[in-house]
Structure 1
Amino acid sequence: MSYTPAPQRYERQPYRRSGRSGLLLPTLSLGLWHNFGDVDRYDTAREMVLGAFDRGITHFDLANNYGPPPGSAETTMGRLLREDLAAYRDELIISTKAGYRMGPGPYGEWGSRKYMLASLDASLKRLGLPYVDIFYSHRPDPDTPLEETMGALDFAVRSGRAIYAGLSNYSVEQTREASAILRRLGTPCVIHQPRYNMMDRRIEAGLLDTLADEGIGCIAFSPLAQGILTERYLASAIPADSRAAKGGFLKASDITAGRLAVVRALKELADARGQTLPQLALSWVLRHAGMTSVLVGASRLAQIDDALGAANGAVLTDAELETVEAALRLEQ
């Protein structure tokens, strides 16, 4: 059945400018890290992507190694672009990254020009696109000169393979240096993608100020702390089908009594605001003026609908922010 997007899709959520660029992103963007690989149901992935677009989510975030298996999330998105979204390509922001391990041998990860550009070409082939809108260096390479990695981003843009260049997981010092190199090359960095949530606040120690100084937008990933900032773990036992039970990036040992006390206190605040706990966590991330967008993951469309409540929710008051700080101190 052919797809026609909802006519009112651009009325569903605000859009924010990425730093000092001309790029506008939806307040909520959809990350395809989980639930879009070959091991997942294609019809569910299709429902989420098309449903997200119907709700004004125009930005879909990928990386070369997303799946599993690695690369399969891009293949899934490529099929959706080909079969459903081809007519709407100019309304979409498609991003991908290179930096983490994608293949064997010395050219399968990190930040060499060889790996970065070969990876981008492979991503474009999987996506069935001549270009992506944003190409990121997914992580800094401790051994490759930063000039080489940034030169690869610059070449990706100049060669027409990407429209914008971005960074992910770079420190304050690395961000300043990378931004200076890209500016000299004539391809400024427009966006940085760090991890940020109530349980991981490292970017508050300088990175947010650095991004503001450099005119770089910020898009946070893992805003729900891998699901800790939901009601998923408030039951007496860890659910068998949860991320913590599966033992990936989130482990059962991460679900401590102190963290659960924090989550319960935060849920009380969310209830008082008329929000769900995930909506509160997203509203908290989005409170920063320089936060362009936040990446949400989803396994079903209802989770995207819930997240939209944060995009359109009331701004947190000073008293509510202090309540959050008091709740977070319960873990100490």
Structure 2
Amino acid sequence: MAVDGVVAGAGPVGRSADRGVVGPRGAGGEEPPRYAPEWLRLREGADAAARARELLGPLRIRPADRTGGPLVVHDLGCGTGSMGRWLAPRLPGAQHWILHDRDPGLLRFAAMAAPRAAADGGPVTVETRRGDVARLTPEVLTGASLVTASALLDVLTRAEVETLADACAGAGCPALLTLSVAGRVELTPADPLDTVITEAFNAHQRRAGLLGPDAVTVAREAFAERGATVRPHPSPWRLGPEEAALTGQWLRGWVGAAVEQRPELRGPAERYLTTRLAACAAGTLRVTVHHTDLLALPRPKGGGPA
């Protein structure tokens, strides 16, 4: 079975080829999207099951410090809006979500599919914006109660993560950044090529200055240097027979990216992929794809603990 082409979603395909929040670059027109809407919809259930609910407790105390007006949430690289559909019903009180993405089609879909009620029945309203994380400023986040993103950190550069941390620190708002890849994958039953494919895939993610599996470490340092209390938490995908469609798509992208990085793997990778897809179809394959969620709570005004 050929592994030509990388299935969007298993890892970054080229430099800046749609990091969600990234706008058009240069004078050559818009770049093709990195994540197809079909992939985003396919992974939404696994994302929802994986996100660290443990981080919502510390987050929920933040709105209590505010008086008047709705909770204002900026969702960076919103895609189809899955983060809002997961988070808005778990936060109490009226909310206003500002959805950022470079793709106007995704923005329209995300706005239409957004939830309309908070955890306590309060209203949820939505607006959309196109923008670039590399140009994010505290002014863009004026009045923000929370910045959030899903599967974004690992497709940013160090400079872009520092820009994000600067903007959040300047605006004094927390950030909940979910599902950043950790660079570790476990497949059962195991195969000798698992480690080889993993290492090649991780190298692919680090191409052209992207952070890939180093993203959470860089983000922790960036937010901590700006006075935030940073809390990471594991958020793995655990894929079994019920997620066979997602697992198959992920496998094609994961192996395809590894072969793109190391073309000499093509022959053994084709055989590996054929075997893995057969096991997936038979319901005998289990996959754990490790991610990390990160909550950064800014230092309160007055200099007390976050």
Query: Structure 2 length as normaliser, TM-score?
Result: 0.36
Question: Normalized per residue, which structure has more strand?
Answer: 2
Q: Quick one: higher RCO (CA 8 Å, sep 6+), 1 or 2?
A: 2
Query: Structure 1 length as normaliser, TM-score?
Result: 0.34
